[in-house]
Structure formats: structure tokens, C-alpha cells
Structure 1
Amino acid sequence: MLQPREKIIITCAVTGNQTLPSMTPHLPVTPEQIADACLGAAEAGAAITHIHVRDPSSGMPSMEIAYYREVVERIRARNRELILNITTGPGGRFAPSEDDPAVAGPGTLFLTPAKRTEHIALLRPDIATLDLNTMTFGAQAVINTPPNVRKMAKVIRDAGTKPEIELFDSGDILLMHDLVADGTLQGPHLASLVLGVKYGFRPAPETVLYARDMLPENTEFTAFGTGRAAFPMVAQAYLAGGHVRVGIEDAVYLSRGVLAESNAAMVEKARTIVEQLGGAAMSAREARAHLGLADAGRTTQRAAE
């Protein structure tokens, strides 16, 4: 059985696409705010920041490449070591219309694998998420078919970027095994267990252990919870031998009734939990070496090519 590590990696997911501006006044929206949130999280102890972008005028999720590029450039102008993990999640959502379920209705954003990974091919970040879930998501469905996942994985691999495999339920892990077996995914692997999304993994200690033990060999894993499960899952992930993640993408409260004023505050609390349990957070440089990522100078050069 895996034991808690001496040092773990903290990832901060600073904005996401599910948290609404109406939920918290502290949600980063503009490229400048998102970049500043990433830099603040790094100063608080995060080695990785997970990045989505938003439309600056509405605050709603966006896939505009110019926003991604601005976020990356702003971060790299001030911090060359921080590991950048950019999403490929948007573009897999389907909502059937009421009159004809074969026709997309309001809320649908269903795009080709090439479009969902276009920004990865251009910006070539350290890490890109690769979602394996097909599941009910609110009143809509998220659809990630194996053929589309394979196409997205190839773009990520060709960019020299490491995929982080996002796992929302046990069937996703079985798909990961198939992708490893056919060579779509090549180790060492990096996976993230997403706990607390309705109709997915339940955020509980036994879930983390069950999912951890299903993972392919040679897999580093992070486990994180959404909403009120965010900080309990920090402790559970650490105790199960994994890495941890927090951020305003996943939760907006620092404690009961107290909104987190920043992503940095959430990282500080997560780091404190880990330290009180006997661990410590890796620096970005240590995390690069641990995950086998290119050094910071090379990743900055790649993005500029």
C-alpha cells in the first residue's frame, strides 16, 4: 500500500469553467487576473497551475486562443519555473433540444478534437488535461468518445506536452487502461481523480483508495474534491500517497461561510494541511524533475517557436 510522500505537488486550478462570477467576487476573469492568480498561487506554494480562460466582458468561459496566449506570456514574463497545465475540457458538452434530441440545444458546445486542442498545439504548455469522462453533467451530457480522445492525445503528444488524465468515475480508469495498452498513452502517466461532481466519484476516503488501486502501473496521481469536499480531500489525497489540488475552479469557500479571497489563500491552507500531516510541498523545479518535464528554459523557448 502506498504511504504518504515526504513531498507532494500542489496544483492550483484558478478559475475553471463552472464557477460563476455570481458565486464569488474573487473569481479571476481577465487574462491579467488569471495570470496574477497563477503567480500568487505559485508564491503560496503551488508548483502547477491549471488554466482555463474567460471572456473579460461577461466572465463566462472562453476558448479564445489570444486569451490563453496572454495568460501564458504574462506568467512567463515573471516566473519561468511554474508548471503550466492548460485545459482541453471545453468542447465536449451536448444538450439535446426539446423538439429533436438529435439536434443540439442551448448549452451545447461540441467541437472537433482538433478545435479542442488547437491552443495546445500552438502554445505547447508543460501539461494539458485530457478528460476521459462521458457522463451526465447537470442537465447536459459530457461526451468524450475513445476515438476523439485518441485524436486529442496525439495532438498533445505531438506538442511535446504531458497529458494529465482526468478521471471522474471507475469506467474512465478502464478506458485509461485501454489507451495505455494500445500505445495512445505512454508512461510515466499523470492522472487526476475528480471527486464530488454529481454522478461521478463520491468524495470519500474509500473512493480515493479504490480508484488509486485501479490506476495503471507507473502513474502519479492527484486526488481532489469539489465544493465542501475540497479540503478534506487534500488530507485524503496526501494520506493515500497522492498529490493535491485546490482552487477557485473547484470551490469558493476557505471555511464554512468564509469565501476564499484568493487562490493563494486556498494554496496556503492546503499546504498547511499537508505540513500538519508531516509532509511538504515541492517547488516547481522539484516538481519538474519529479514528473520528468523539460526544464523551464526549454518550455519557454518551445512556446515561443
Structure 2
Amino acid sequence: MSEASRKVIISCAVTGATHVPSMSEYLPLTPASIREQAIDAARAGAAIIHLHARHPEDGRPTPDPAIFAEFVPDIAQATDAVINITTGGSTRMTLEERLAYPRLLKPEMCSLNMGSMNFSIHPLAQKMTSWRYGWEKDFVEGMEDMIFRNTFRDIKKIMLELGEHGTRFEFECYDLGHLYNLAHFVDEGLVKPPFFIQSVFGILGGMGPDPENMSVMRTTADRLFGRDQYQFSVLGAGRHQMPLVTMAAIMGGNVRVGLEDSVYLSKGVKAESNAQQVAKIRRILEELSFEIATPAEARAMLGLKGAGKVSFEAALA
């Protein structure tokens, strides 16, 4: 199949745990708004919906399974999209907290950060003139002295516990070494292809948004795994989102957009919804003669177990 005619998977990360409410009035915070935006994003063309939860009162990130349960089953009922639950949570959550809902749901897919790292947006605090909620300023500024922890033992625990139930992973690689960390677990026999490698560019603490970095990640993954053993995908943080994901598709990869990664649609224009970003990248890709993968096609490409084997009822208990 030629590169121009292959199917491209669009992932949408709906809310995340990094941006705070003051950064965009359109960031979904409540279960109802996350549900609505996720469903609209799926209808716009996202085959994979990547989900975090927030306290409905003030938008603070939360790992509470009860809050996840207020919107995840509804999204699954309303769409055929692949439900992808974070195991990253936020830098302030323990591993046990981050795993609380995935353990109950046993989803088709979970995100998995492939290493411990500095992860910060603290310079953005200097640009903020007001804060909507009292927790936000300390949360953003405090990232300067926070580390996201995912040790080899942590990663192994996630792979074993969730992999036992057929969950596969969006391997989030923020640096070149994260690919080698993944290769280590492949050598250990803990994960098998096809791998879904999400290369992340533009986060302070990880790789910068230089286009050359994408080439290095792509060719290194080719050497480590073989191109036919993995699906390459890219997310670009902030203003780098659309240029980098477009380049990723041209290089034979897949794309991720969403308000978790950028609150903007274009320079100086905030995205009013996740669906707007999905619709924009879909239009760009289709103008370039790429076809957009359906959820069923994404499941086949990634070797997923199917929504019928997800424990939605058990996770409501």
C-alpha cells in the first residue's frame, strides 16, 4: 500500500492533567463536558479517545474511579471509539492512584509513559494574569520542582497487571532513551508487537519540537523494532501541534490532537472544542490524500481486544 493511501489513526486527548482551567475556558472539566467533547471528537473522526478525569468542582486532576465512571461508559455507549485511559495521571499522583481506574475497567488501551522525567509547564505561570481557582498557581509553578515517576519497576508493574487482561499500550516516548526503555521490555518478553509508539515533542523536560528530532525517533524505532512491528504516532505540545502531527503523517505515522496537548486551534485562536482540532487535522490529512482510520481499522492495526472485552459494568460497581 502506498504511503498516500494508507489509513491514519487520529487520537484525541480530551482534557489531560497539565493544563489548568485558567488557560482556556473551553477545557472540559466536569464529567458531562468531558463526555460531550469526547463524543463529538469521535464523531469528527478520532478513532482513539484518551481520557483523564478532573474534579467537577474546580477542575483539579483526579484519579477517582467514581468520577471516571460518570463519563467513560457513556462515551463507549455513544461511540465505537477506542477508549484509552491514562496510567500517567499527574505528577502529584502515586502509582496506586494512577492505576485505580484502569484496574477496574481493564480497557483496550492505556497510555504508558516510558520513563521518569522532569515534566513541566512552569514558565507559563509568568504569562498568566489571573487564576480561576485557588489551586492553579501553585500547581503550575510547583512543576519546576516535580518529577514524573515511572521507574523500570513501575513500568513493569503496569505492563504485567494490565497486560494480563489484554490491555495494550500507547507507549508515550518523550525522549530517545524512552525507545530504548521500550526495547528493554520487548527483550524481556513483557510486550509484543504491534507497538503503538507515541512520540512527544515540545514538553519542557523532554525532546524539543525540532522537526529533526522526529526523524531521529522514527529511524531509531525502525532500528530497534522494525517498521512493520510498530505504529508510529506523534503529538506536538502547544503551538507545535498541527505542524508536527502533519509532518508525522507525511513520514508514515499517525497523529494525536486534543486540548490536553494544546488549547489552541491556530495562532492566537483558542480551540472551542476537541472536535475542532480533530476536524482540522482531518481536513489537512484528507487534503494530502490520506485516509482516516475508523475505530475498527485502528483496532486491527494495533491488535486490540475489542470493546466487548472491556469491564464497563464492573468499573461502575
Same fold (TM over 0.5): yes
- 2:266 corresponds to which residue? 255
In structure 2, C-alpha distance between the alignment counterparts of 1:288 and 1:304, rounded to whole Å? 21
Select the residue among 281, 284, 309 that pairs with 1:299. Answer: 309
Instruction: From the superposition, tell whether residues 3 and 210 of structure 1 become closer, same or farther in structure 2 (CA, over 3 Å).
Output: farther
Structural mapping, 1:121-270, within 5 Å: 121-138=103-120, 139=144, 140-215=146-221, 216-217=225-226, 218-270=229-281
- AA in 1 matched with 2:203: V
- AA in 1 matched with 2:258: G
In structure 2, C-alpha distance between the alignment counterparts of 1:122 and 1:199, rounded to whole Å? 31
In structure 2, C-alpha distance between the alignment counterparts of 1:205 and 1:48, rounded to whole Å? 25
Contact kept? 1:4, 1:238, Cα under 8 Å: no
In structure 2, C-alpha distance between the alignment counterparts of 1:164 and 1:193, rounded to whole Å? 10
1:62 pairs with 2:62 = yes
Structure 1: segments with no counterpart, 5+ residues: 94-108
In structure 2, C-alpha distance between the alignment counterparts of 1:137 and 1:148, rounded to whole Å? 17
In structure 1, C-alpha distance between the alignment counterparts of 2:168 and 2:99, rounded to whole Å? 13
Structural mapping, 1:267-282, within 5 Å: 267-282=278-293
In structure 2, C-alpha distance between the alignment counterparts of 1:5 and 1:165, rounded to whole Å? 25
| Shift of residue 3, structure 1, vs aligned partner | 4.3
- 2:130 corresponds to which residue? none
- 2:128 corresponds to which residue? none
Contact kept? 1:38, 1:49, Cα under 8 Å: yes
In structure 2, C-alpha distance between the alignment counterparts of 1:285 and 1:75, rounded to whole Å? 16
Contact kept? 1:120, 1:159, Cα under 8 Å: no
Contact kept? 2:8, 2:290, Cα under 8 Å: yes
More displaced, 180-189 or 114-123?
114-123
- 1:6 corresponds to which residue? 6
Secondary structure of the structure 2 residue equivalent to 1:117: helix
- AA in 2 matched with 1:219: Y
Secondary structure of the structure 1 residue equivalent to 2:283: helix
| Shift of residue 295, structure 1, vs aligned partner | 3.4
- 1:100 corresponds to which residue? none
In structure 1, C-alpha distance between the alignment counterparts of 2:94 and 2:306, rounded to whole Å? 33
Q: What TM-score do you get using the length of structure 2 for normalisation?
A: 0.85
In structure 1, C-alpha distance between the alignment counterparts of 2:87 and 2:195, rounded to whole Å? 17
Secondary structure of the structure 1 residue equivalent to 2:170: strand
| Shift of residue 115, structure 1, vs aligned partner | 3.6
In structure 1, C-alpha distance between the alignment counterparts of 2:306 and 2:175, rounded to whole Å? 33
Contact kept? 2:13, 2:259, Cα under 8 Å: yes
- 2:139 corresponds to which residue? none
Secondary structure of the structure 2 residue equivalent to 1:22: helix
Q: What TM-score do you get using the length of structure 1 for normalisation?
A: 0.89
Contact kept? 1:47, 1:284, Cα under 8 Å: yes
- 1:104 corresponds to which residue? none
In structure 1, C-alpha distance between the alignment counterparts of 2:298 and 2:76, rounded to whole Å? 17
In structure 1, C-alpha distance between the alignment counterparts of 2:33 and 2:87, rounded to whole Å? 20
Structure 1 stretches of 4+ moved >6 Å: none
RMSD: 1.6
Contact kept? 1:121, 1:159, Cα under 8 Å: no
Instruction: From the superposition, tell whether residues 182 and 5 of structure 1 become closer, same or farther in structure 2 (CA, over 3 Å).
Output: farther
Percent sequence identity over aligned pairs: 37
Select the residue among 91, 108, 117 that pairs with 2:99. Answer: 117
In structure 1, C-alpha distance between the alignment counterparts of 2:160 and 2:17, rounded to whole Å? 24
In structure 2, C-alpha distance between the alignment counterparts of 1:4 and 1:144, rounded to whole Å? 37
Secondary structure of the structure 2 residue equivalent to 1:190: strand
Secondary structure of the structure 1 residue equivalent to 2:186: helix
- AA in 2 matched with 1:220: Q
The alignment of Structure 1 onto Structure 2 pairs a total of residues equal to 284
- 1:288 corresponds to which residue? 299
In structure 2, C-alpha distance between the alignment counterparts of 1:281 and 1:237, rounded to whole Å? 14
